[in-house]
Structure 1
Amino acid sequence: MNRDLLGRHRAVLPDWLALYYEEPLEITHGEGRHVWDAAGRRYLDFFGGILTTMTAHALPEVTKAVGDQAGRVLHTSTLYLNRPMVDLAERVAHLSGIPDARVFFTTSGTEANDTALLLATTHRRSNTVLAMRNSYHGRSFSSVGVTGNRGWSPTSLSPLQTLYVHGGVRTRGPFAHLDDRAFIAACVRDLEDLLGHTRAPAALIAEPVQGVGGFTSPPDGLYAAFREVLRERGILWIADEVQTGWGRTGDHFWGWQAHGRSGPPDIVTFAKGLGNGMSVGGVIARAEIMNCLDAHSISTFGGTQVTMAAGLANLAYLLEHDLQGNARRVGGLLIERLRAVAAQVPHVREVRGRGLMIGVELVRPGTDEADHEAASAVLEAARAGGLLIGKGGGHSTSALRIAPPLSLTVAEAEEGAAVLEDALRGL
């Protein structure tokens, strides 16, 4: 470990800017599904910079596109016509499934959700928002205000009135004992009861799979059932696809499609993987919603040419190589492998997820009590074995988060599972 760099980090950066590991890691370069630290040690990367490295590290198609564009012009702002931005917006709008879609590019998922909340509250003339318990939507003032995971909510102040709805966590809470059909019905009744006690909200914002919350999700169809209730009242549905978009869940290109019988959401937000490490986020919405702002607005760095070039090249690679299908196939094998291991490890409460978005929740054996120390121990042991993973969850970050680049091979999945097996058995 570079102790000089760690000392400089602590001297100049905020205390709340967390670092993984007892001896923090400096990553110097990567290739494919692997990264190397400053000491030259190689790691299999099962977290991809918090799901941002979607296809592969140093993907030649993306690095070439970035270099070629950088050699022409890096940035001009949205005040001028921007061909790469229009090209990418056309592709994203087509893929969204939203009719008459408009796309606005930002630099992050936080900013994308912030914009979606601005659009929804302006369009509906309401500052009341529905959100899911255990959710996470970013670190801006408004996105923190709709975040239902207290570990990521540093203030109770907010420009919004937020009401939290049941359903984002299938195996905990008052409805956990019900079967899927009854679970959905109970959550819908709870939503209807909640709406009977408040002024008409602007929107429901929800992650199809809760990312920071530990890769939890409701039964398929919950948000379709919610949509029927919301549509009757004119309430918008915002799907936060910052972590679930672009085929990561394997079964679907967008996470909302698991709940798709009522059609696409009114607004979709995205970020993370589209730029494969470049800062790209955005909002997709029907024209009537996107165009509801009656004030001037621009995006200084959203849609800048070099990030749009990266997004175009990355999206083309993902589609041409069917990485969604790879996530379904390889992710399914990895989930089954981990479930077989978990059956023999008392600390594992649940292995959940779909595609290459997998959560392993750890508890104190014989209880439902979250075991933060066990999660940290597995994180350290996995690193020692040459594997990088993440952690999260609404219960003291007791869930391991596994989200490799979508080009992960079967052999690499087996390699990572073997390291995780050793780490889990060592608890």
Structure 2
Amino acid sequence: MTNDLLGRHRAVLPDWLALYYEEPLEITHGEGRHVWDAQGNRYLDFFGGILTTMTAHALPEVTKAVSEQAGRIIHSSTLYLNRPMVELAERIAQLSGIPDARVFFTTSGTEANDTALLLATAYRRSNTILAMRNSYHGRSFSAVGITGNSGWSPTSLSPLQTLYVHGGVRTRGPFASLSDDAYIAACVDDLKDLLGHTRPPAALIAEPVQGVGGFTTPPDGLYAAFREVLHERGILWIADEVQTGWGRTGEHFWGWQAHGQSGPPDIMTFAKGIGNGMSIGGVVARSEIMNCLDSNSISTFGGTQITMAAGLANLTYLLEHDLQGNARRVGGLLIERLRAVAAQVPAVREVRGRGLMIGIEITKPGTDEADPRTAAAVLEAAREGGLLIGKGGGHNTSSLRVAPPLSLNVAEAEEGAAILENALRSIP
């Protein structure tokens, strides 16, 4: 049956629509931190539909909210007052830390970033954007145009002029050998030099932790230092929290807060986990930025009642059960366990991350040369052992990505770490 479905998939869907595994997997149902495939095999899920099943599979509170809302009305568009949308916007505005915040809902992180770019360029009257090397911001025409990862940017054509800044990958590049303070100073000097050679940009867009880039992070405080330079010149800061938001990093509710010495971003985007699988994205911005557009607009499916009901139930569950704290505690244990394993596996260059957002970079032993073939082999071996993980990274996709639902318990973390240890030790 799976082979038949694979043939049908290939006959009607694009060749560039990526599938994991040599024998692609059909997931039929899930519960908690586990999913099952069409053959009845059970897996511990450490990727959550690309960080989207944030709390748990088939979470009763979310399932009930969706079912009850579906029994009333599923959709009406933004042309009518929408109580669930207003209620979720109120909660997100308050949690964002952005003063006098306005919230606009979309259906994906791509659309959220696209909207943020529209707002920033309209507000600043500039089509120049600063972006980070190794970044990823979505698959729309504008988003691929600012993505700093060639594996995810299929065209150089763009409505925007993009300038790429150092700093997103602490352990690679010309400043890797410096101390954290010296690294930040060098990146700031590079930013200042870049700004001296170009027309004033609209904004810097940055992921606090680079997601598709392999869960890479700069030193804490880098974006605060950047913000001081940008603020002096009136340049906006867009924090792309599509993967880092909602407490996943454990230490903070938003990724930007690790760099928050100079205050919140001007614009923040979100998506992924807030809907626990339902299609929710959005933008939060100061009112004068959000309201700068001088034409009418709507969102047909952004903010639709059924997704907002899911988001409200999911956010309530996350806050009431302190899943941020759980990500900090269980994620910390998992990172240390994986680092102990990696120290004995020459092909692992680095285990990095924070909370339940962990990257394992695979290289050819004794070098910094990416080894995507071995990374793919570990992905396969983990599946054979009953564990689903992701992959990503610059330098030819040689990083493994570990991002379980935030309700992961210690026993499940130990189980997943043991499977990953066996998978890593299987490297020839």
TM bracket (short chain): over 0.9
Give me the whole-angstrom Cα distance separating, in 1, the residues matched to 2:209 and 2:357.
9
Give me the whole-angstrom Cα distance separating, in 2, the residues matched to 1:41 and 1:23.
14
Q: What are the residue-to-residue correspondences of 1:116-135 with 2, within 5 Å?
A: 116-135=116-135
State the Cα distance separating 1:395 from its structure 2 match.
1.1
Give me the whole-angstrom Cα distance separating, in 2, the residues matched to 1:163 and 1:98.
26
Tell me, yes or no, if structure 1 residue 306 matches structure 2 residue 306: yes
Question: SS at the partner of 2:396?
Answer: coil
Q: What are the residue-to-residue correspondences of 1:99-110 with 2, within 5 Å?
A: 99-110=99-110
CA offsets 1:238-295 (integer angstroms, 9 cap, x no match): 0000000000000000000000000000000000000000000000000000000001
* Structure 2 residue aligned with 1:193: 193
Give me the whole-angstrom Cα distance separating, in 1, the residues matched to 2:324 and 2:114.
28
Structure 1 segments of 4+ aligned residues over 4 angstroms from their partners: none
Give me the whole-angstrom Cα distance separating, in 2, the residues matched to 1:213 and 1:88.
30
Give me the whole-angstrom Cα distance separating, in 2, the residues matched to 1:2 and 1:225.
51
State the Cα distance separating 1:2 from its structure 2 match.
1.1
Question: SS at the partner of 2:359?
Answer: strand
Q: What are the residue-to-residue correspondences of 1:135-214 with 2, within 5 Å?
A: 135-214=135-214
Give me the whole-angstrom Cα distance separating, in 2, the residues matched to 1:404 and 1:162.
33
Give me the whole-angstrom Cα distance separating, in 2, the residues matched to 1:251 and 1:374.
32
Q: Which amino acid aligns with 2:211?
A: G
Give me the whole-angstrom Cα distance separating, in 2, the residues matched to 1:123 and 1:312.
30
Question: SS at the partner of 2:379?
Answer: helix
Question: SS at the partner of 2:164?
Answer: strand
Q: What are the residue-to-residue correspondences of 1:402-421 with 2, within 5 Å?
A: 402-421=402-421
* Structure 2 residue aligned with 1:42: 42
Q: What are the residue-to-residue correspondences of 1:5-404 with 2, within 5 Å?
A: 5-404=5-404
CA offsets 1:305-342 (integer angstroms, 9 cap, x no match): 00000000000000000000000000000000000000
Q: Which amino acid aligns with 1:233?
A: R
State the Cα distance separating 1:235 from its structure 2 match.
0.1
Q: Which amino acid aligns with 1:271?
A: A
Give me the whole-angstrom Cα distance separating, in 1, the residues matched to 2:88 and 2:240.
19
State the Cα distance separating 1:40 from its structure 2 match.
0.6
CA offsets 1:50-96 (integer angstroms, 9 cap, x no match): 00000000000000000000000000000000000000000000000
Question: SS at the partner of 2:249?
Answer: coil
Give me the whole-angstrom Cα distance separating, in 2, the residues matched to 1:204 and 1:2.
44
Q: Which amino acid aligns with 1:17?
A: L
Give me the whole-angstrom Cα distance separating, in 1, the residues matched to 2:315 and 2:280.
12
The aligned length equals 427
Give me the whole-angstrom Cα distance separating, in 1, the residues matched to 2:378 and 2:395.
16
Question: SS at the partner of 1:225?
Answer: helix
Give me the whole-angstrom Cα distance separating, in 1, the residues matched to 2:155 and 2:86.
38
Give me the whole-angstrom Cα distance separating, in 2, the residues matched to 1:19 and 1:158.
27
Give me the whole-angstrom Cα distance separating, in 1, the residues matched to 2:172 and 2:384.
32
State the Cα distance separating 1:140 from its structure 2 match.
0.2
Give me the whole-angstrom Cα distance separating, in 2, the residues matched to 1:61 and 1:395.
41
State the Cα distance separating 1:202 from its structure 2 match.
0.2
Question: SS at the partner of 2:377?
Answer: helix
Q: 5+ residue gaps in structure 1?
A: none
State the Cα distance separating 1:208 from its structure 2 match.
0.1
Give me the whole-angstrom Cα distance separating, in 2, the residues matched to 1:219 and 1:325.
22
Give me the whole-angstrom Cα distance separating, in 2, the residues matched to 1:356 and 1:291.
35
CA offsets 1:201-238 (integer angstroms, 9 cap, x no match): 00000000000000001000000000000000000000
Give me the whole-angstrom Cα distance separating, in 2, the residues matched to 1:145 and 1:299.
23
Give me the whole-angstrom Cα distance separating, in 2, the residues matched to 1:296 and 1:146.
26
State the Cα distance separating 1:193 from its structure 2 match.
0.1
Q: Which amino acid aligns with 1:290?
A: M
Give me the whole-angstrom Cα distance separating, in 2, the residues matched to 1:379 and 1:426.
11
Q: Share of identical aligned residues, percent?
A: 87
CA RMSD of aligned residues (A): 0.4
